[in-house]
Chain A
Amino acid sequence: MQNLFAPGHRACAGCAMPTTVKLILDAAGPNTVVASPTGCLEVVSTPYPESAWMVPWVHSLFENASAVASGIEVALKRFGKTDINILVIGGDGSTLDIGMGCISGMFDRGHNVKYICYDNEAYMNTGVQRSSSTPYGTSTSTTPSGKASFGNPRPKKDMPAIAVAHKVPYVATASVAYPVDLRNKVKKAIATPGPAYLQVNAPCITGWNFEAGNTVELSRLSVETCLWPLYEYINGELASVKKIRSKKPVEEYLKVQGRYRHLFKSPDGAELIRKIQAIADANVKKFGLVD
């Protein structure tokens, strides 16, 4: 494996993000430039004068990485360099919330930019605040559980569907627990002309609050409980789905994370778990996850 994301960065032990980035860059290869928004990735990888990036990399602001990448793409085209892979790698806050306008513009203009969101389901760099990618019932620092609150009252925003609605030709989900699948999807995204969108499940040890060392296992559980379906949309059509052989109840995924501890303590918890199970069951139905 090529090491294009060097060790020595400042990410937490047990963070899925550096592994995710390493896998992405391994698939993309050295002929790649990356734009990243502000966030954990930017902060842990580029404390001046150090950098973990072994490929050209640029950070401008929190919400504009896809606009920056649009400019990179047209400038490289201008200079006749059309064979360079252009990636954006950013977290869910910059992708689903504050950067939404710029991403929509980049998709709409059809830039040959591959946008990869490592999704840890909250604003982790600023201390686990709710994002629109935070799942239903999650306790975060701005949707804390309490006597009058069961945590985040809203479901996750369906960003892949928004990408599909932009007629993005390649849209997929992935998980750090399935590295071969992730690598293949990065390669497919790069091989497809035009924009692509890939959303990768990437557990955050401090925000999700699980036992260190279980990062990959936890991400696998999100897939096996059908809360994180793995699929591809090619030209707007559902093209592939990872089938789940033995579907696990959502409790198995929820009970090992501090962000869902309240569900197992409050009297209303059982009803909330049933609602989260219904989200998983809806995924099974929508994507045909179980034969």
Chain B
Amino acid sequence: MMKVIEGSHAVAHAVMCCRPDVISAYPITPQTHIVEHLSQLVADGKLNTEFLTVDSEFSALSSLVGASVVGARCYSSTTSQGLALMWEVLYNSSGLRLPLVMTVANRALGAPLNIWNDQQDSVGARDSGWIQLYAENVQEAVDMTPQAYKIAEDPDILLPVMVCMDGFILTHVYEPVYLLEQDKVDSYLPPYRPAVVLDTANPKTFGAFVDPSKFTEYRYMQWDAQIRAKQKIVDAALDFQKIFGRYYGGLIDTYHAEDAEIMIVTMGSVIGTIRDCIDSMRAEGIKVGLTKIRSYRPFPAEALQKALKDASVIAVIEKDTTVGNQSALLTDLKAALYNSKLRMPVLGFTAGLGGRDITVTDIRKMVEISSRAKDGVAESDYQFLDLKKELL
């Protein structure tokens, strides 16, 4: 059923359809509408779940560690400072191999305090062992939710998953969305039945202390599960398509990529603007295309090597930076290309920090700079695209 609905409410509806046993969350802008709507669904008797209103984001994720060890399907949502406060539990829950699912309503990290969108928060958690999926629009954020559970709870994977959606831009937008049908979600997503749980009939120890003789192997198995999750993410998208008829690519997706000389690589809601730009630039004869990252962790190195092999120049645009180096997706991508022997220029552009709009003008400027690099004109290979120099 298609409905004009706020992004947060559409995601809350998707969460409800996944039949979570326990939800635990703490309020933080711009995530609040998701959990408020879930609370209302509980209050209205539409959602049967244990809903915990806790004392912090740290407690939110910690309580889900307890619930998940008992075998519950769990959900939380947070952003920015809240995600940073969860930091210790992020590593702990993925190390414990608990298939939690959490929506991250991407927002800048302070200081300076800023409640608006960028992706510094989840990008900063990229090494925590959580799988990270990035949604382009509300519909994809909705559809990624059952996919996230399917991937997380796969007995071969057992890793937590973040569904990242740009704060305000996607959480607070009203747009037409196909809400998930409960019967279809039920046929897509089987109940969670973990093999080992906290059970008095079969006492087990969880979270033991591991010395140097075995720690590496634990970490390796976690690393290996993320790598193996690549195929599961592709399968989850294809299985979803069979039941719901919607598909957004597996690890990545492409747009006008086949003959693109200038290839833009990015993730999240800016892709909508970029698609429009590509349409108009193509009409002008500019051979520009897009490669969209759906899965940032695991990082789709092989898929990117394949998708980018014929490009003359690559332009990576992202809403984060790595203070002291270049931006995160850019450096990950360059690392993935190095041993593949692909040697086109790769330019990096940080933009849209702290909620600044990435405009059509910005995208065109980036394409122009990239086009000059394609023709051999050397410029800085990393820049803040929308920097107001007069304010420095």
List the interface of chain A (C-beta within 8 A of B): 30-33, 35, 42-43, 46-49, 51, 53-61, 63-64, 67-79, 84, 101-102, 104-105, 108-109
Shortest CB distance A199–B (Å) = 21
Q: Considering only CB atoms and an 8 Å cut-off, how many residues of chain B contact the other chain?
A: 43
What 1/0 mask marks residues of chain B from 55 to 87 whose CB sits below 8 Å from any chain A CB? 110110011111111111010000000000000
List the interface of chain B (C-beta within 8 A of A): 21-22, 24, 49-50, 52-56, 58-59, 62-72, 74, 88-89, 92-93, 96, 198-200, 202-211, 214
Q: Given A33-B198, A56-B200, A71-B64, do A64 and B70 touch, yes or no (CB 8 Å)?
A: no
Across the two chains, which residue of chain B brings its CB closest to A38?
Answer: B209
| A60-B62, A60-B65, A71-B24 known, 9 other contacts, Cβ within 8 Å | A46-B205, A48-B210, A48-B214, A58-B65, A58-B207, A59-B207, A61-B88, A71-B64, A73-B66
CB <8 Å contact, A67 and B50: no
Residues of B within 8 A of A72 (CB): 66-67, 69-70, 198
CB <8 Å contact, B66 and A68: yes
CB <8 Å contact, A31 and B206: no
In whole angstroms, what is the CA distance A15 to B50 when docked?
40
Partner of B50, one of A42, A49, A78: A78
In whole angstroms, what is the CA distance A57 to B22 when docked?
20
CB <8 Å contact, A33 and B65: no
Residues of A within 8 A of B54 (CB): 67, 70, 105, 109
Shortest CB distance B130–A (Å) = 16
CB <8 Å contact, A75 and B70: yes
Partner of A64, one of B21, B65, B202: B65
Residues of A within 8 A of B205 (CB): 46, 51, 53, 56-58
CB <8 Å contact, B209 and A68: no
| A and B contact pairs by CB, cutoff 8 A, 6 listed | A51-B208, A59-B209, A64-B65, A70-B66, A75-B71, A101-B58
In whole angstroms, what is the CA distance A57 to B206 when docked?
6
A-B interface pairs (CB < 8 A), number:
155
Partner of B22, one of A47, A59, A60, A71: A71
In whole angstroms, what is the CA distance A108 to B54 when docked?
9
Residues of A within 8 A of B21 (CB): 75, 78-79
CB <8 Å contact, A46 and B208: yes
> Chain B CB within 10 Å — which of A30, A51, A69, A108 has the most?
A51
Q: Given A74-B50, A78-B50, do A68 and B62 touch, yes or no (CB 8 Å)?
A: yes
CB <8 Å contact, A48 and B211: yes
Shortest CB distance A61–B (Å) = 6
Q: Given A48-B214, A78-B50, A105-B59, do A60 and B70 touch, yes or no (CB 8 Å)?
A: no
Residues of A within 8 A of B204 (CB): 56-57
CB <8 Å contact, A67 and B207: no
In whole angstroms, what is the CA distance A47 to B55 when docked?
32
CB <8 Å contact, A47 and B70: no
In whole angstroms, what is the CA distance A75 to B21 when docked?
7
CB <8 Å contact, A78 and B72: yes
In whole angstroms, what is the CA distance A108 to B55 when docked?
9
In whole angstroms, what is the CA distance A105 to B64 when docked?
14
Shortest CB distance A21–B (Å) = 14
CB <8 Å contact, B65 and A71: yes
Residues of A within 8 A of B208 (CB): 46-49, 51, 59
CB <8 Å contact, B62 and A64: yes
In whole angstroms, what is the CA distance A71 to B63 when docked?
4
Across the two chains, which residue of chain A brings its CB closest to B56?
Answer: A101
Shortest CB distance B355–A (Å) = 30
In whole angstroms, what is the CA distance A176 to B323 when docked?
53
